[in-house]
Amino acid sequence: MDRFDAMTAFVAVCEAESLTRAARKLGLSPSVMSRQIAALESHLGARLFNRTTRSISLTDAGSRFLERTRRILAELDEAELAVQDEKAPPRGRLSVTAPVIFGRLHVAPLLSHFVARYPEVSIDLTLSDRFISLVEEGHDLAVRIGHLPDSQLVARRFGETRRALVASPAYLAKAGIPLHPDDLAKFSLIAFAPVAQSFEWSFSEGRKVRIEPRFIVNNGDAAISWVLAGSGIARVLYYQVRDAIREGRLVEVLGPFAPEPMPIHVVYPTAHLLPGKVRAFLDLTAQTADWRLAS
């Protein structure tokens, strides 16, 4: 007995509610279908159908077996499609979401490289600093910075970054340099609050300082523009200002009090039979992206 053929025949009979109609659908004779069902029942040691001359219905054992058999056959179909997908180049639309500045600096260039490598893929990139639900909003994957809450999503870590307090040299020359987090009350502060206005800044060893910002904005680029203009001290992510610090346009303050780095992950709904386009993006990220952005 071929168990796959027998299980396929069993499901067909259940769906058609007739052995004859199921046989016609599968292109088999009723006698062959009958032998497959009988062989399956013999193998299982249980009767799957109650039969009369006019009707056929499932037994309790048949009902339980039907549910599992449908799932097994569906997973076999998915497995075949996955193997076929692996053999074919990635195609279709890849929908990605990422934080605004990180997406502009790191994800968008990576996606340009991705499309150049896989010309049958198109891109839908959403840049937002708010939390976006992949399942509810229909994205294939997301880049997320920070420690992840428990969820059903699969996460793959590709780097890390940290928070940093920065100011322009001109502002520090005028206002002085804070030497301890408690000194911040004496300075003009810029709060970047993309979602909730939480004005408590965290530092090393669990230290937290409540601040009263002079400037509040929900966009990181705007916050950095105020810092560059000499308006005060802002807390941002280090990758956002690394080049400006290296070029001397900004100065990091309170560096010894900086909190621990935060991970950078790519998250996606499931690792089960991963679509080829998602797998290809993860592979390209691992091969080419350097997201170690804490220093």
Among residues 221, 214, 187, which one has the least CA distance to residue 199?
Answer: 214
The predicted structure's pLDDT at residue 100: 94
Question: Within the chain, where are the H helices?
Answer: 3-16, 19-26, 30-44, 60-87, 100-102, 108-117, 134-137, 169-175, 220-228, 238-246, 276-288
The answer for 69, left when phi > 0, alpha when psi is -120 to 50, beta otherwise, is: alpha
Q: What is the pLDDT of residues 199-243, one digit of tens each?
A: 889 999 889 999 999 999 988 999 999 999 999 999 999 999 999
Domains of the chain listed by start with CATH number: 3-87 (1.10.10.10), 92-159+262-293 (3.40.190.10), 163-257 (3.40.190.10)
- Higher-confidence residue of 235 and 73: namely 235
The 8 Å CB, 24+ separation contacts for 24-27 are none
**pTM for this one?**
0.69
Burial of 125 (0-12, 13-18, 19+ CB in 10 A): middle
Calpha distance 176→169 (Å, rounded): 10
Query: Dihedral of the CA atoms 205, 209, 213, 219 (nearest 10)?
Result: 30
Angle, CA of 245, 246 and 247, to the nearest 5°: 90
Q: What is the pLDDT of residues 28-45, one digit of tens each?
A: 888 888 888 889 888 989
Residue 123, phi then psi, degrees to nearest 5: -120, 140
